[in-house]
Structure 1
C-alpha cells in the first residue's frame, strides 16, 4: 500500500507540472532545452519542477534568452539535484538557500545517504549479522584511524564521457573561430555555456569563499572573494577566482576554454585534494597533461558519504 501511495503522489506531482506546462505552452519546449545530457527521467523531472517553482523569484528571466538570473537559477537547480541524487554537500549558506527553494517539492524514492558519524556509530551494534555486514563492506571500525573509502568515478566513466567531449571540442573550436579566436575580451562563460547547452548538457558551478578553502597557503595575503569550480557531466573543467560569483565564474570559464586550445581534449582520472584528502576525480585535459598542478576540488560528485 505504501508503494502504491508513493506512486500516486509521484504521478500527482507530474500531473501538476504537465498541467502547468499545458497552460503555458511557450515554456514547455524551452524548459526541455535545459535538460542535462545524462539526466534520468526522474532526475530531470525533479530539477524541472525546481526550476519552474522558482522562476517567479527571478522576474528578469525571459525564456529563450540567456541572462545572469537564468544562470543563477540553473546553477542552484544543479546544486540541489547534485545534493539530492549524488549526496554532494556545499557551504551552509548555499545549502540553506536550496533547501528554502525546494520547500514543498517532494522527490519520491530519493537516495538515502548517511553521514560518516552515523556510519561509524554502527560499531556499537551487537548483532553478528550486522558486524559481518560491516566487514563485507570493508568499513573501518569505530575508533579506527582510517577514513571511509570514497568510491570515486566508475572505471569506465572516462571512456564513456570521451565521445561527448570530442563533440564539444569541435563545437567550442568553431565558436572561438567565429568569435575571432581566444582572447581576453570574450565573454568566456557565455561561449562555454552556449556550446555545452548546444550539446544538450549543462554546466555545474560550485562557489566557495576563498577564505574557506582549507588547502590555501597560510601566508597568502588575499583571502577575500569567491572561487568557482565548473563541471560538466561531473567532469572537472576549471577553477577561477574573482571578487564575486560572476567574476569567479568568468575566470573559471576562461581557464576551462584554455583546455580547448590544443589539438584534442582527453577525459582522465586524476588525483586531487578535497577537504584535506586525496581523491580520484574526472578531469578534462588538453594534449599537454597538467594533472599535477590541479587546484583543490570544491565539489566532489563521486562520494557515497560526505568527507569529514
Structure 2
C-alpha cells in the first residue's frame, strides 16, 4: 500500500511540475473510467511514453494510437479480466511492470469459475449458448417450465415486479454499463460488424450474471399486421435478472439473438441506463414489466413481451 501511495505521489508530483502534459494526458480519460481505473491507465501511459519516441504531447500519431490502445488493453485485463493472445499479454505485462493497483479485482478463468460453482445448469454448446436458457415451445415457456403453470412466488411478486425491484437491480446495471463501455472502446466502438451477442454475454458474465434468451417462431406470434406475409424466422427476447433488454428478428435463432443483442447494446450508448417498470403487452393483456432504458425519448411503444417472469396462475388462466 505504501508503495502504491508513493507511486501515485510520484505521478502527481510529476504532473504538477508539467501542467501542460497533465492537461494533455487528461484528455484521454474515458467517460466511464473510475478514478482508480484512470489513475492506473494514466500511469501506464506516462511510464511508457519513452518507449514511443515519436509520441509528442498535443500531436496525433500512429504511435500515440498504439500506446493508447495498449493502455486500454492493460486496463481491460486488470479491471475487467479480459484476456488477449499471448504476445499481447506478454507485451502489456512488460509495459505494466511496476504499476501497483490497490484492491485490484480478482478474475478467474471460465474453467476455474465452473469448478468453483460446480456443474452449471446449462451445458455450453458450440456457439457460446452456455449462458442462454431457452424456451422454444411457445411464448410463455421460460427455462423449460410448462406454459400452463408458473413457479410459485411470494404473494408480493405474483402479478408483476415489486415496486422496489428497479432500485434493487440498478446497481448491477450500473456496473454492466461500465463493463459494456470498456468492451466497446476496446473493440473500436459500437458498429454493425461486431459480434454483439458475444460482447453482451462476456460483459454480463464479467459481472457474475447470465443472459436469458427466449425464442419464438414468427408464425406462432399472434397479432401481426394483416398484410405481413413473412412467416419464416424467429423472434428473440433477451433478459438479464428478469429485466428486459432487447428484442430481435432473424431467419433463424442465431440471427434473431444477434439482432436482439444489437438492440440491447444500443441502450448502452447514452450517458446512463435506468431500470424502470413499464407497461407492455403480453398475450393480449397489459402487464407491468421491468425494462432497461436509456435517456432517449421514445416515439413508439415497446415490442410485445415474449416472456413474463412475474406471471402467476391467475394471469395464465385469464389469458388462456
- Shorter-chain TM band: 0.5 to 0.7
Residue in 1 that maps onto 2:112: 29
Going from structure 1 to structure 2, the CA distance change for 1:98 and 1:270 (only over 3 Å counts) comes to closer
Structure 2: distance between partners of 1:29 and 1:197: 13
Give the alignment of 1:87-102 within 5 angstroms. Answer: 91=137, 98=144
The CA deviation at 1:300 is 0.5
Going from structure 1 to structure 2, the CA distance change for 1:93 and 1:232 (only over 3 Å counts) comes to closer
* TM-score between both structures, scaled by the size of structure 2: 0.56
Residue in 2 that maps onto 1:246: 254
CA RMSD of aligned residues (A): 3.2
Where 2:303 maps in the other structure, the secondary structure is coil
Going from structure 1 to structure 2, the CA distance change for 1:303 and 1:261 (only over 3 Å counts) comes to same
The CA deviation at 1:215 is 2.8
Residue in 1 that maps onto 2:233: 225
CA contact (8 A) 1:215 1:296 kept: no
The CA deviation at 1:30 is 3.4
Superposed CA deviations along residues 148-175 of structure 1, whole A, max 9, x for unmatched, are x961001100111011111111110111
Residue 189, structure 1, aligned to residue 197, structure 2: yes
The CA deviation at 1:271 is 0.6
Superposed CA deviations along residues 23-43 of structure 1, whole A, max 9, x for unmatched, are xxx99733267x7xxxxxxxx
Superposed CA deviations along residues 38-71 of structure 1, whole A, max 9, x for unmatched, are xxxxxxx8xx4643xxx4xx7xx5xxxxx41x40
Give the alignment of 1:2-151 within 5 angstroms. Answer: 29-31=112-114, 48=119, 50-51=121-122, 55=123, 61=125, 67-68=126-127, 70-71=128-129, 73-75=130-132, 78-79=133-134, 91=137, 98=144, 111=151, 151=159
Where 1:293 maps in the other structure, the secondary structure is coil
Structure 2: distance between partners of 1:154 and 1:92: 26
- Where structure 1 has 5 or more consecutive residues not aligned to the other structure, the ranges are 1-25, 36-44, 62-66, 80-88, 100-109, 114-136, 138-148
The CA deviation at 1:214 is 1.3
Residue 276, structure 1, aligned to residue 284, structure 2: yes
The CA deviation at 1:304 is 1.8
The CA deviation at 1:74 is 3.6
2:207 is aligned, of 199, 203, 214, to: 199
The CA deviation at 1:90 is 5.8
The CA deviation at 1:224 is 1.0
Residue in 2 that maps onto 1:11: none
The CA deviation at 1:260 is 0.4
Residue 173, structure 1, aligned to residue 256, structure 2: no
Q: Which one has the bigger helix percentage?
A: 1
Residue in 2 that maps onto 1:215: 223
Residue in 2 that maps onto 1:266: 274
| Largest Rg, 1 or 2 | 2
Residue in 1 that maps onto 2:43: none
Residue in 2 that maps onto 1:84: none
Going from structure 1 to structure 2, the CA distance change for 1:179 and 1:49 (only over 3 Å counts) comes to closer
1:159 is aligned, of 152, 155, 167, to: 167
CA contact (8 A) 1:270 1:291 kept: no
Residue in 2 that maps onto 1:290: 298
Q: Which has the higher contact order (CA 8 A, sep 6+)?
A: 1
